[in-house]
Amino acid sequence: MNRLIFVFVVAILLGGAIYISQTTNEQAEPIKVGVLHSLSGTMQVSEQNVVDATLLAIEEINAAGGIDGRLIEPIVIDGESDWDVFAEQAEYLINQEQVKTIFGCWTSACRKTVRPIFEANNHLLIYPVQYEGLEQSPNIIYTGAAPNQQIVPAVAWGLDNLGNQVFLVGSDYVFPRTANELIKNQIAALNGEVLGEEYVLLGDTDFEAIVDLIIETQPDVILNTLNGDSNQAFFNTLRAAGVTSEDIPTISFSIAEPELSSWFMDDLVGDYAVWNYFQSINSATNATFINAFQDRYGTERVLSDPMESAYIGVYLWAQAVEKVGADASPTLIRDAMLGQSFNAPQGVVYIDPQTQHTWKTIRIGQIQETGQFEIVWSSENPARPQPYPFYRSRSEWDDYLLDLYQGWDLQWANPG
């Protein structure tokens, strides 16, 4: 009888402990994070996909038990393709919602507009998109490519394989302007020639005059730094004028698989893009990523480099939070992210402690009729990020950026 009573009491105590543990986990306060991207406007075609990839990573981590038994609660906000809206919403997420970290921004105009807010509040932004470099904020982790991981190898490969006479076309804000400044320095060093350099405002769709100049100058290759849905109008105009990818190929820096699936594919077949990730990478890790995304969002959906960068950014952040605790400050989380590595769909990535940028493998792909990219060149191994190219000193690059900013009435894009 005593033995039975003992067993009964132990069972009650164990059951109570399990119940208390389950109740505690269920009631544990979630870890709030912001997801700030454009869900409307000219950048929606690109940024909505990045939101989906970010949420997939959060859902996977939550399904595995969260972080220290606490779930991640994403607060998704539309930046409306407007850098002023991004700034307002960053303030809201930090000060009203009191999120631990914000995952967001695409255009450099948005990132540079919100940067002072993160620095003033000593908060943390995880930025997932390739960009022009010339920046190293203590409050931003950069999981997209630095210039030497996209722009520089694209120019070198293009001049070696397509020809050394180049035409530059871009959207009129800080990324294309700065990227093209880097490109011109590199082309001069490689004894190439820039035959034209033209810009349009973000969202513009009139490219007839620019295409006329391309036909007149007959470059060997077009280097394209347009962003958003202006790309579709540019290629439509180019093809309508009879210029094919065989006549004058284009290397693009902001066109990936989702844009191809949203636009008229025949206009882009045969052209090129430079990224660190393509959906066509043949690896078990990438296959798992593709299957998980398509199981969640549909088999017709495709993946891109910024989506993969956003996805791995969440995992690198989660590893850091596990290290320092869910209640750690954004500063401690940032410090813990430095030196983190992850076996990503693109291959192993690593957060460089000196620059807060990411070591990444470089790839050049050619657009196929399937809407995927055939990888025609790869660096094979991850490249160390170099945010400040050696063509000028850091102070000279800073002066260049300041001139742009002041010339645009203290904005990071041409206000028109």
Give the tens place of pLDDT for each residue, 375-389. Answer: 999 999 999 999 998
- So what CATH class is 149-280+387-407? alpha beta
**Where are the domain boundaries for CATH 3.40.50.2300 in the chain?**
31-145+283-360, 149-280+387-407
Domain spanning 31-145+283-360, CATH class: alpha beta
List pLDDT tens digits, range 23-53: 444 558 999 999 999 999 989 988 999 999 9
Residues in Cβ contact with 104 at an 8 Å cutoff, skipping those fewer than 6 apart: 34, 35, 36, 37, 79, 86, 90, 125, 126, 127
At 264 the pLDDT is 65
Identify the DSSP state of 360.
B
**CB distance 365 to 349 below 8 Å:** no
- Rounded Cα distance, 48 and 50, in Å: 5
Alpha helices in 190-304 (DSSP H): 208-217, 230-240, 257-262, 284-297
Profile the chain (416 residues) by mean pLDDT over runs of 10 residues.
40 43 59 98 92 98 96 98 96 98 96 98 97 96 97 97 98 95 95 98 95 98 94 94 97 93 81 98 98 97 97 98 96 98 98 98 96 96 94 91 96 93
Q: Identify the pLDDT of residue 406.
A: 97
DSSP 77-110: EE-TT-HHHHHHHHHHHHHTS--S-EEE--SHHH
In contact, 37 and 48? CB cutoff 8 Å? yes
Report whether 230 contacts 210 (CB < 8 A). Answer: no
Question: Given this model, what pLDDT does residue 27 score?
Answer: 57
Q: What is the pLDDT of residue 84?
A: 95
Three-class secondary structure of residue 401 per DSSP: helix
Full-model pTM: 0.90
| Helix, strand, coil fractions of the chain, as percent rounded to 5 | 45, 20, 35
DSSP per residue over 310-355, as a string?
HHHHHHHHHHHHHHH-TT--HHHHHHHHTT-EEEETTEEEEE-TTT
